[in-house]
Amino acid sequence: MAANPIWWRDGVVYQIYPRSFADSNGDGIGDLGGVIQHLDYLAELGVEAIWYSPFYPSPDVDFGYDVSNYTDIDPKFGSLADFDRLVTESHQRGIRVILDLVLNHTSDQHLWFQESRKGKDNPYSDWYIWRDAKPDGSLPNNWEAIFGTPGWEWDAKRDQYYYHMFYPQQPDLNWRNPQVRQACLDVVRFWLDRGVDGFRLDVFSNFFKHPDLPDNPPAVGLRAFDRQKHIYDSNQPDMIPLLRELRELLDSYPERYAVGETFMPTPQSVSAYTAPGLIHAAFDFEMLHCRWDPECFQKAILATEKAMHPDSWPVYTLNNHDTSRTASRYHCGNNDARLKVAAALTITLRGTPFIYYGEEIGMRNIHVPRRFIQDRIGEKYWPIFDGRDKNRSPMQWNANSHAGFTTGKPWLPVHPDHGTRNVEAQRKDPQSLFHFYRRLIQLRKELSALRGGLFQPVTYEPRKLLAYLRQDSEQTVLVVLNFSHRPVRLAMGGELRRNGWVLALSNKHDTLPAIEKGGYLSLQGDEVMILTEKG
């Protein structure tokens, strides 16, 4: 694999939810063997790296985010030998491997917790956050868990409460214990030694809690969790020295990378965690909250750009395993035109684009009947909230039974549109969303300004158009995105009009339309135009 110290800036990262990508043994659950079978497809798409949601041993209370062993592979996904082959095969195709590291909490079935709950005087007794009840028998403090319960769970064996930010089966580690810190860094080293190129740090800003565990102050919100200001159970200053230590470990291996998921992120908190010497990047998810409106997207982008430390690097995404798919969120129906605009936005901004499996063929949310719901949040809150299964359905490879995902019964239903919306069909159609993603990714590789150039907004028209420049010392690129189904015009005034432009990519035109009288560039509905300066 060719050396590139800033591969994580230059390329596109593809997220795979392993149990839903491809099943190689017919048990209905995606696995590492299935991924290996489709690495050529991902190389064809042009991605630089793959981020894998967890495939460690797990009781699957939260589908892998409750880890019972950090240094092995869950048998349903394969083995360490399969993983080693995955790394080798990926690297042979120039694809990097990024693992999801879930180090805020473990499963309650992890050896560490099983030992810790035995008593207060064993080697693991202080590896989790244990507290006695208050003298009146009430909980140690008022902290709430995200999934609808108090943050404290009674353990009769130890005769104490333990703290959990998520499910009771996911006890939080005590990162103030140096032994925990060292054990988790040893986990990082274990995977680095196996050739892993980077990590996504799950909710890393929650690792440390205030040592005195004071009550969180009240806030306005619908859920109990949202009715608190989370100032004592997350984003503690102790995180900075840990990130510096982690970065030193990563830097002791060539070309390694860490991107973090922060809890309730803001552009400012992301910037603080990605200052020089800390982690390389972090998600802020500002764009995930945007309606289909160029003004909203521009405000989100500018907020991120303004908050970034000069040496920090943004991350942009519109999909992941916890959010509704873009095609459904933006009410695309069966039309992919809007998805091409979304793809161009994500891939042409100044930052690393992360795309979610199936995004490149426009997969939609699936309706999962209540009897088939797998996600415990959906089971608990149905019908108010039906969970996250809808955006985790099996990858649609072809029009065959179960979309070519498995020869068995899939763990979740396959979307009924797989007969027409699938990889095989879109590969054959040069105008498909898949091929548009391919062209965008290839253009990013060809144009240095799209990879590392500055971001300069040109204009937007509410509900219609967003335009911006990407500039470096070598070239200038103009990106124009029509968010409307109707034609719209961009005023090519000042420097834009003086420059000569060449059409690099459009989903509507093969050549650049003539500039109209008065200096206007006309775009068709849902059109993407990427122009390069004549040179």
Among all residues, which ones are annotated catalytic?
202, 261
State how beta strands 152-155 and 160-163 pair. Answer: antiparallel
Type and span of the H or E element at 152: strand 152-155
Question: Looking at this protein, which amino acid is placed at residue 384?
Answer: I
CA 20 vs. chain centroid, Å, equals 16
Orientation of helix 337-348 relative to helix 433-446, angle to 10°: 20
Q: Provide the sign of the torsion angle of the four alpha carbons 188, 192, 196, 198, taken in this order.
A: positive
What number of other Cβ atoms are within 10 A of residue 73's Cβ?
Answer: 21
Type and span of the H or E element at 8: helix 7-10
- Whether residue 329 contacts residue 336, with contact meaning beta carbons closer than 8 Å, is answered with no
- Count helices and strands in the chain by DSSP H and E runs: 16, 18
Alpha-carbon distance 414 to 404, whole Å?
Answer: 10
Q: How many CA atoms lie within 13 A of 112 on its CB side?
A: 23
Residue that is written with structure tokens 């684009």 in the block: 353
339, with CB counted inside 10 A (0-12, 13-18, 19+), is buried
Radius of gyration of the chain from Cα atoms?
24
Dmax over Cα atoms in the chain, in whole Å? Answer: 82
